[in-house]
Structure 1
Amino acid sequence: MNWLSISSNAFIFAFALYCASFIGYAIAVAGRRWSNRDVEAHTKRWSRIAFALAIIGWLGHLTFFLTRWKGGGHIPTSNMYEFMTFLGMAIMFAFIVVNLIYRNPLVGAFATPLVVIIIAYASVFPSEVQPLIPALNSYWLKIHVTTAASGEAFFAVGFAAALVQLLRVVDFSRKDKLGKREQFWVEAVLFVVIIIVGFLVSVFSFRAGGYSAEFQQEKFSIDQQGNEQSSIQKVTYGLPPIVAPYNSEKLSMTPYLGIDKPLFEAPHWMNGVNAGRKLNTVLWSVISGLILYGLIRLILRKPIAAVLHPYLDGIDPEDLDEISYRAIAIGFPVFTLGALIFAMIWAQIAWSRFWSWDPKEVWALITWLFYSAYLHLRLSRGWLGTRSAWLAVIGFIVVLFTLIGVNLVIAGLHSYAGV
């Protein structure tokens, strides 16, 4: 039996149902304003349809995970493609658990597109099953990665609920300085999401067009005896090179917009895996995000947050605040076990030390400290409502940087994840 073929089909099936679930939740929420029938009945009916699609999609996603494990011979969490697909599956599971408790369609309207974006982001990376490198060939891979991702999944649900809460409570009719500041920062969060979507649009567009550019890069390193060594490697771009790898020579490049060479070279201190190519990806993400955001604003004629705000009338923000807090409270101990305790045990086994100040370790600790502060401020200082929601939003942005940003520009023991 071709397990990998079954896995690939299950992945497409799950992605399609997640998209359908998002559409169902969007209809459920939008129907609160334009449905001519009983609004409550309309919302319940479409929420149930969307939730059923989400559950079936998650079962398809689980099939993808198990069959890829069977076909590949190891748990599929060893590279960015596998980890991000597992994270998407974990977020959907966390949403299912939270929704069974609170049954709030608004959380689904924001959690399901988050899963869709994460899975689409995973598809950017090579999907071929790769053999485990020696550092990953351990049963601790199953324990550490799955628990860390599960904790982050509940943080994601907390983020979705908190973002809905902010969209609900911010008054977009205010013209004073404080009101404009709140409106700006809510719109800024949505802009970050648009940048990620813009990144996906640019990558898949140029990939569909078959774009490629290739550079030859010379890299220097110091061996154990203190001698300098050099190596030559080829770096292939899937996006037009705005920035070339440091200390490299162009081998081939398809011109774009009349430009036939990179505009500048990556700085020498960006020494992560394929740092020049990844900086180029960041630049294209920002450019694509700005263009996409500009088009959306041109169509809507007002900020995106201001357009979404009226659809949330009648929603109790205290319920959203409770959902966000409960999701984070569930995820925090799971993340503590997976990202810190289990990680340190595995580090001791693999590298004979519990802590090495690796960039990924440092940012995992920063994430843990941030959510520790969130729980402390909420439980001990009474930070509820808007202040708590902002902490939940910022916390997940820290999570995203830990997952994605660290691999883009910083070299470390976890750089294999960006390959």
Structure 2
Amino acid sequence: MSLLDVSAVALLIALFAYCFAFLGYVLSIAGRKWSNRDPKGHTSRWGKMSFGLTTVGLASHMVYFFTRWAGGGHIPVSNMYEFMTFLGMMVIVAFVVVYLIYRTPALGIFALPVAVILVAYASVFPQEVQPLIPALDSYWLKIHVTTAALGEAFFAVGFAAGLMYLLRATDFMSKTKQARKAQRGIELVLLIVIIVIAFISGVFGFKAAGYHAEFSKQNITVNKDTKEEVVTKETVRYILPPIVKPYKGEVISVEPFLGMKEPLFEAPSWMKGVNAGRKLNTVIWSLILGLLLYGILRLIARKPLGRAIHPLLDGIDPEDLDEISYRANAIGFPIFTLGALIFAMIWAHQAWSRFWGWDPKEVWALITWLFYTAYLHLRLSKGWQGSKSSWLAVIGFIVVMFTLVGVNLVIAGLHSYSGV
């Protein structure tokens, strides 16, 4: 068995360990109602067991990381598959740090799914080890990407705690305008999470069924020296039924699905990201499957999902959740500042002879940094605590995820290789 085979098995073990740990954290909270004699002891026992599983998963995740590094010849953070699996590992590292400080098992109910979703999302991308392109062949790759990902991981834990606070502190029985606004906002955030889960489930389902479609796409670039147009063709492969075909793409083969034998429309020309047509198709399918799954869950719960989850968090001090969210974001902010801005600018100067070039990823990294700067300012100077602070933590992580994923859909830039 090669090192790359060992890494694949280790990642699978980590994923299963995180899933079982998540179930343990759920039982540590939900099971208190069944443990009439000693509910605190029940939470403590299951919390310790689940944390033990989490550390086993993290150890296995690290085995994946270092064996892939040794087998591939370079640190495995150079494409979307590798970066997302690494970010998932960093989320667990951040969770472990915060858990050891606050000893709150309920945090695992929301933090671990973030890591699982990231690792599952990574599996959508090609998993082969790819050689480094010249722009990435630098020791700054290790420094920039690892610190930026660690900062984003603490933002993810801050998001989880912030969402927990909103679910715990919001009065879902109130009919006031402010309460209804909070209820709708929470439901929207839960819908976004469900859409992501549905997307991953849909991709795995179609991959398991062996579905595929292929298109030929013409690319036109201009030679900077001769000013002549260079025409190249590439094959774009879909694993989800094509509702949208690539811009100026021609059908090679499409498997019929539910009577649909060809795409319904073409991707707009203003979408310049790498494989934007395929990604837009994925977004549309994610919305369809997510809304379907949300509708099924609403039928089962027979109430808004936020109201259904709220009773499970009874007994948890909302002030503790608010403090955890703030501390996680406060830890993540300086790390993110170093990795995503300072180290990134130093590397940019070495690679492209300039510190700043208004590349889309650079701009959105700056927007993310400014957002969390405003979050800390409002928290410390204006006294924004509780619901206001938690909403900022939730929105901030949505901005982070758009920076990581969404920018590649709409805009092409120097970081477009990360979307391959």
TM-score (norm. length: structure 2): 0.98
CA apart distance, 1:31: 1.4
Equivalent in the alignment of 1:343: 344
Matches within 5 A, 1:39-58: 39-58=39-58
- Checking the alignment, whether the CA contact within 8 Å between 2:272 and 2:409 is kept in structure 1 is no
Structure 1 spans left out of the alignment, 5+ residues: none
CA apart distance, 1:264: 0.3
CA apart distance, 1:228: 2.4
- 1:381 has 2:352 as partner: no
1:204-248 per-residue CA deviation (whole Å, 9 max, x = no partner) reads: 111011111111111222221332232211111111000010011
Separation (CA, whole Å) in 2 of partners of 1:185 and 1:35? 33
Q: CA RMSD of the aligned region, Å? A: 0.9
SS of corresponding position for 2:127: coil
Equivalent in the alignment of 1:230: 231
Equivalent in the alignment of 1:14: 14
Matches within 5 A, 1:199-210: 199-210=199-210
- 1:320 has 2:327 as partner: no
Equivalent in the alignment of 1:164: 164
Separation (CA, whole Å) in 2 of partners of 1:117 and 1:171? 29
Instruction: Tell me which amino acid in the other structure corresponds to 1:233.
Output: E
Equivalent in the alignment of 2:281: 280
Equivalent in the alignment of 1:410: 411
Equivalent in the alignment of 1:401: 402
- Checking the alignment, whether the CA contact within 8 Å between 1:278 and 1:409 is kept in structure 2 is no
SS of corresponding position for 1:105: coil
Instruction: Tell me which amino acid in the other structure corresponds to 1:127.
Output: Q
Matches within 5 A, 1:89-168: 89-168=89-168
1:144-202 per-residue CA deviation (whole Å, 9 max, x = no partner) reads: 00000000000001111010000001001011222111100011111110010010011
- Checking the alignment, whether the CA contact within 8 Å between 2:271 and 2:409 is kept in structure 1 is no
Separation (CA, whole Å) in 2 of partners of 1:217 and 1:57? 41
- Checking the alignment, whether the CA contact within 8 Å between 1:32 and 1:311 is kept in structure 2 is no
Separation (CA, whole Å) in 2 of partners of 1:259 and 1:124? 23
| Number of aligned residue pairs | 419
Structure 2 spans left out of the alignment, 5+ residues: none
- Checking the alignment, whether the CA contact within 8 Å between 1:29 and 1:109 is kept in structure 2 is no
SS of corresponding position for 1:255: coil
Separation (CA, whole Å) in 1 of partners of 2:128 and 2:220? 30
Instruction: Tell me which amino acid in the other structure corresponds to 2:325.
Output: S
SS of corresponding position for 2:106: helix
CA apart distance, 1:32: 2.5
TM-score (norm. length: structure 1): 0.99
Equivalent in the alignment of 2:73: 73
Separation (CA, whole Å) in 2 of partners of 1:138 and 1:227? 32
Q: Percent identity?
A: 65
